[in-house]
Amino acid sequence: MNSSYKIGSIMGIPIKVHITFLLILPIFALVFATNPQPYGFADIGSPVMTYGLSLLTTILLFVCVLLHELGHSYIAKGYGVEIKDITLMLLGGVSSMEEIPREPSHEFKMAFAGPLVSLIIGFVLLGINIAIASSVPSYNTTWVYLMVNILATINIVLAIFNLIPAFPMDGGRILRSIFARKMSYIKATHYAASVGKMFAFLMALVGVVSNLWLLLIAFFVYMGASEEDKSTTVTVSLEKYMVSDIMSEDVISVQPEMTVEELSHFMFENKHLGYPVIKGNSLKGIVTFTDIRNVLPHERYAVLVSDVMTTDVVTLPSSASAAEAFRIMTINNIGRILVMDNDNVKGILSRTDLMRSLMLLNE
């Protein structure tokens, strides 16, 4: 099931909404509708107007969150980083980048760009309200003034909150860029992640007492810091090795005419869950356990490998970096990559191969 849906593109970047965003939208609107001024519209007028303004404010708030993420993406694109997409979800927005700029000054600017956009939005909106209110005395009693004031305040709070040095939040990335000026990137990431976990623990303590949202944020910060710490260690450790150093050259392939029933027995006998599909010397696709598990048992005698295999095969040359292979596996959520030179299959590289090599490197 697809959990994110594309709603458009900006600067060539696909903009998506996650299903959790659709769930949180009415909750935010309800919060605005049930709180009085200056934080909501409970006492602004009729229920229709109250909920209408609340929903509009919620949508505009997430537009501001999108602009925050576009700030990150604009700077990253300037440094040649490819942005896969921006997704609006439960706790805000996420820019999906192929890689984080490794140069400390680049990461600093990219991380600071988002909070800077939020600060600019917040202070511009405040300035507009002050300017209009000074010339139109009755303006500060209108719903427009209230909505603009709410958006301005939330953007400023959002910017300040994101600058907390809780890795992998923006402030944590800024902290890593500062550490990276004086130490290795792995060590800088480890220290920044440790600070992030400490802040997550403090957030959780406060959240248990006063705010469950803070507890949820603390959980995501802690898990994010742990995962990025591990991911960075793996990526940097593998950078000095090529795919040819780690891949398995003994490639076991299957024929497209094989039935799914035969393939299931073949998998059991060979103890692998994925195989390239080759006809003659030509690569036709790749088939995995995931491809066949949805085929009903009584249909497996009639369904062929060619019917269920994946034809859009992810490949890499043997001269590619092992770190690049790990990155591609992570982005595409796949467990193996075929290694090809001049249209010939030279080997296969699995996530298990990478993890085993990493264990040996760390011994």
**Residues annotated as catalytic (active site), given as ranges:** 69
How many other C-beta atoms lie within 10 A of the C-beta of residue 293? Answer: 10
b/e sequence 99-136, b meaning 16+ C-beta within 10 Å = ebbeebebbbbbbbbbbbbbbebbeebbeebeeebeee
Phi, psi of 123 (to 5 degrees): -75, -30
Q: 179 vs 168, 183, 192, 202, 297, CA distance in Å?
A: 14, 6, 8, 22, 56
The label of the residue with tokens 């708030």 reads: 61
Across 256-309, the runs of DSSP E, i.e. the strands, are 274-279, 282-288
Q: 156 vs 125, 286, 323, CA distance in Å?
A: 10, 50, 38
**What does the longest C-alpha to C-alpha distance in the chain come to?**
82
